[in-house]
Structure 1
Amino acid sequence: MRTLDEVRARCEIEEITGCWVWTGARSSDIPRIYAPDLYATEQRLNAALAVAFKSPRPRAKIIAALVQAMDPVMEAQTGRRATWQMAQGKGVKDGLIVYNTCRNEQCVNPSHARCGTGTEWGRFTAKTGKHKGQLARILANRRIALARTTVKPEHVQEILLSPETGLAVGARLGYSRTIVSKYRAGHPVAHRPVGSLFVGLML
């Protein structure tokens, strides 16, 4: 898609909020749009210009190469990033992110998007309370993890250092071979912390 009109035609428009809810492809429930990446296009054109100034080729071939380099680079990207570039007519430079100012992650309305640094995005979320309730989600995830395994901290070292097979040490300590194998392979596995579910949280 190359224009905002094309994108808007693929959205459900919410009259009250003004959100453009994308009905096309998504990744992890985030809209994905195949659209021009203007920053990548600018980088490619700059590289072509640098070559052109040094090139001994005929003028006509150089011009043709530059015209080709100006054609937008098409890439699959987040919906808000794609529409922000279309609306602004410029690319998103390295180190910057595009984030929604509304609470609808499926919205691709460019007027609901803002481009800035990660720090600016953090200030915005803190000010608006966009992620209010995150602590509750963290605790819920911990409860789920703890329900899946009851590995005790004092057994971790024994699992790692025991010369026994994973099946044998697991059977002796009361854990599955899969849990033992994950520990020995260095993969993170939830274990029951000493204290409450709030251990390790900065409140």
Structure 2
Amino acid sequence: MLIEETPLDPAALPVEAFRAHLRLGTGFSQDDLQGPVLEATLRAAIAAIEARTGKILLARGFALILPAWRDPGGQPLPLAPVASVTELALRDAAGEESAVDPARWWLEADHHSPVLRPAGLALPAIPARGAGVIRFTAGFGADWAAVPADLRQAVLLLAAHYYEYRDAGALGEAAMPAGVAGLLGPWRALRLGAGGAA
């Protein structure tokens, strides 16, 4: 189970850049009505791009709760880039947590597949009917300027698409514009499975 513990800071959203991208005027009486619409549209675009790429654009805190390690020699983290792992804790069957000494684990940083590694041979054993809890900060940075330029452009293009078709009902996977998909291509992690499909 992956939990977002730190909400996205509204001040970090590029509302003015999005307004300029849409060529909306300013100083009109409806500016205060457009603000929430632009913010909601940007949030939707950021969420869609993060879901499609597994990359967190604006830094936030997350908790990954696992009943067992996928591999005791290294637990992959589902999001990237990971700036830091702030805590590894073991939760017992009663829900009580105890922090694991940071000297017993380390972060193998990677832009696509970060991994929490043990300092020794294996990560500490998870208690019966308990869980391992990894708290970490993921994202390119706290402000919009830290996000790579192609991902910033993808957000603006997708948000503009959502804004344009905001009354068209649910927009599914097929609604991702080709230009946005092209910008996201280099950021999608390659997953090899049966048949070598990405």
User: For this structure pair, what is the TM-score category when the shorter chain's length is used for normalisation?
Assistant: under 0.3
CA radius of gyration, larger in: 1
- Taking structure 1 as the reference length, the TM-score comes to 0.24
- Taking structure 2 as the reference length, the TM-score comes to 0.24
Q: Which has the higher helix share?
A: 1
Structure number with higher relative contact order (C-alpha < 8 Å, ≥ 6 residues apart): 2
